Chain A
Amino acid sequence: MNTISVAEGRRSPGLVLDARLAGNARGALYLAVIAAAVGLLIMAFGSPFIVRLMATAYINLIVVVGLQIFMGNANVVNIGHAGFMALGAYFVAIFATPVMMKAVVIPNAPFGMSGVEVGALWAFLISVAMTTLIGLISGLVLVRLAGIAATILTISILVIVQGVLVTWTDLFRGAQAFFGIPKAVGPGLIILATVAALVIARMFKGSRAGVQLRASATDPLAAEAMGVDVKRLRLVAWVLGSAVVGCAGALYALYAGTINARAFYFHTAFLTLAMSIVGGMRSVTGAMVGVALLTVLLELIRIVEGGITVFGIEFPDMLGLSGLMLGVIIVTVMCFRPDGFMGGHEIEEAIAALRKRFGRGKDES
């Protein structure tokens, strides 16, 4: 099984809790520093196109991290997260869009929403709070189910959210794009939020609740016998995860300025799920690796997809090539590394293993 953290190696009586906390904090710090450094470097030297790509990738990373909090710890496949992303985005749009724009976009909004306008920060907070509330309500239902039935329920959430968004045209503009959202968020804030999400997920994974939840996913019977309240822990992870995913949706709306309900359906759900799987859904580092790998790879394939010319030979358009490769990657990873690229390990564990292999010092001093 995966070791709980580096704290394991230097556990001394009486210091267990502190050692664990320190180990988690160190792991979180690694992730935060890498994510921030890569993001800032791209912001400083990248072309506008690359910066845009980075911003989208980082928003995806927040989604995948939110996905990891529930899926990685409770080991239940979740497909409903794109629905929470949609909720986060639409709530922020409804609160933050200026009244003048609303007269065009949603003139007949119920609850007098067409006359309400708050600052982007407040809209963000309200949106995350409302998404979290919906996460709590759905979570109370979800924790009653286990395994495949729980997965079906997450799909139900996605379909229901999409149905409501598309049908309730007065409030959500239906299948048409919702535009005019103030672009209050730049790449810098997205990097900051990503770092925060990574730290939250890493600290949760290593926390008492996280360890208990992972234990219950491995062996429910043994965990319950130890007095672990599995349902409560799964609820905590679900609500925390939906809050993080809602954040990603809200940030996306404030970054792009225009949102469309269709963009938060199965395609997004499957893409982020694939990122999580490829990197390894049981680790937060895996989320980062998965997003990085698939973003770069899919972007490269997209160049080929549009039809390229190599040595004078013109290749035709190959629509669907990126999707095909995505599927092939998932199947290959599942066949040869069922736990994903990181195999459920965090970055500090990988570093420690590398050190051991190359014999440089027994452990960190």
Chain B
Amino acid sequence: MEYLIEQALNGFSIGAQYSLLALGLAIVFSVMGLVNFAHGEFIGVAGYAMFAMAAMGMTNPWLLVLFAVVTVVLAALVIERIAFRSVRDAPPTTGLLTAFGVGIVLQNLFLLLVSPRPKAVPALSALNQTVDVWGHNFTILQFLEVGVTAVAIGALVWFLRGTRIGLAMRAAALDFTTVRLMGMRANRVIAFAFAISGLLASIAAIFFIARRGAIDPFMGLLPVLKAFVACVLGGFGSLPGAVIGGLLLGFIEVMLIVLLPDKLAGLRDASVFLIVGAILVFRPQGILGKRVELGDKTA
């Protein structure tokens, strides 16, 4: 029982990271139809921003975290302006491939400017301390992951429902032309979508870096693939779907870590993808996605 509770929290905390990343993907996709393959590199941006600041002598973890978040949001806005604005009206495949190119650029910038080898970022390692709660062993990080993610999702819901620009973003997911006819600037709506996606990614990135204590140029690849999987599982473009898909993926992963013997540890990622593939075969539209028949007039 005790073990089960610990693993459940584990599933929640890993799932929370995937949810945050998947939400960012889903927001950008729902607003402008872009599949942002470069989303994982936001983790790298956060990591290298922290690494650079720490190397310059900044030790306060709060300032480091703040700096990482601001850098990622700015990076998201800059990338949107430089790369994605010019392919805004292009078919989804073009957008996907552009994002893929942006991802390669960022990865290799880290590689070129810093080092191809992993670098240590120990500033947040203190969060991995275990605490004793009613006889169970948890790390502070796990509580933070679940708590902060819940707050972030709450804030996002408030933003989307309670503000004018949030309303515009929800409307844009259905019909962008009408949103523009109502006098909202397309550039502003999309910039907000990217800023939010960057913000959520930076939160996930901080947890990710705190867990690993190290960064490397290609660290964003696997998390973003998992976030994609989470999105597709939940129904691509659906925000609640992204959260549910992320949590489900977290649980599947923890379950596999527990169930698979060490000898088969190499099959962990393969099994995750196998399970996901199986789910998709039976529900191609994802868990929350509506089945769209050819010719249906849906957004």
Assess A331 versus B101: contact at CB under 8 Å? Given A323-B107, A324-B112: yes
Assess A153 versus B277: contact at CB under 8 Å? Given A266-B221, A326-B104, A335-B86: yes
Contacts of B217 in A (CB 8 A): 320
Q: Which single residue of chain A is at the shortest CB-CB distance from B264?
A: A167
Residue interface mask B77-107, A partner, CB < 8 A = 1: 0000001001100111110111011111111
Q: Which single residue of chain B is at the shortest CB-CB distance from A161?
A: B270
Shortest beta-carbon distance, A268 to chain B, in Å? 14
Q: How far is the CA of A146 from the CA of B294 in the complex (A)?
A: 11
Q: Binding site of B, secondary structure by majority: helix, strand, loop or mixed?
A: helix
Q: Which single residue of chain A is at the shortest CB-CB distance from B278?
A: A141
Partner of B111, one of A148, A320, A329: A320
Contact yes or no, B96 A331, CB < 8 A:
no
Contacts of B271 in A (CB 8 A): 163
Contact yes or no, A160 B270, CB < 8 A:
yes
Contacts of B83 in A (CB 8 A): 331, 335
Contact yes or no, B98 A335, CB < 8 A:
yes
Shortest beta-carbon distance, B17 to chain A, in Å? 18
Tell me, yes or no, whether A22 is within 8 Å of chain B by CB: no
Tell me, yes or no, whether A147 is within 8 Å of chain B by CB: yes
Q: Which single residue of chain A is at the shortest CB-CB distance from B295?
A: A221
Residue interface mask A304-330, B partner, CB < 8 A = 1: 000000000000001111111011111
Contact yes or no, B87 A155, CB < 8 A:
no
Shortest beta-carbon distance, A110 to chain B, in Å? 15
Q: How large is the interface on B (under 10, 10 to 19, 20 to 34, 35 or more residues)?
A: 35 or more
Residue interface mask B255-276, A partner, CB < 8 A = 1: 0000000001011111101101
Q: How far is the CA of A64 from the CA of B111 in the complex (A)?
A: 27
Assess A323 versus B294: contact at CB under 8 Å? Given A144-B284, A149-B284, A155-B225: no
Partner of A330, one of B35, B90, B104: B104
Tell me, yes or no, whether A123 is within 8 Å of chain B by CB: no
Q: How far is the CA of A224 from the CA of B112 in the complex (A)?
A: 49
Contacts of B108 in A (CB 8 A): 320-324, 326-327
Partner of B280, one of A152, A174, A270: A152
Q: Which single residue of chain B is at the shortest CB-CB distance from A333?
A: B101
Q: Give the contact stretch, choosing among B126-134, B201-209, B228-236, B246-254.
A: B228-236
Q: Binding site of A, secondary structure by majority: helix, strand, loop or mixed?
A: helix
Tell me, yes or no, whether A132 is within 8 Å of chain B by CB: no
Shortest beta-carbon distance, B77 to chain A, in Å? 17
Contacts of A321 in B (CB 8 A): 108, 112
Contacts of B174 in A (CB 8 A): none
Extra contacts besides A163-B270, A322-B108 (7): CB < 8 Å: A145-B284, A147-B236, A152-B228, A160-B277, A221-B295, A330-B100, A330-B104
Nearest 3 pairs of A and B residues by beta carbon: A163-B270, A330-B101, A327-B104
What are some 25 contacts across the A-B interface (CB < 8 A)?
A75-B93, A77-B93, A77-B96, A144-B281, A148-B92, A149-B286, A153-B277, A156-B277, A160-B277, A163-B267, A163-B271, A167-B266, A220-B294, A221-B294, A266-B221, A270-B104, A318-B112, A320-B110, A323-B108, A327-B102, A327-B104, A327-B106, A330-B98, A330-B104, A338-B87
List residues of chain B with CB under 8 Å of any chain A CB. 35, 83, 86-87, 90-94, 96-98, 100-112, 116, 217, 221, 225, 228-229, 232, 236, 264, 266-271, 273-274, 276-277, 280-281, 284, 286, 294-295
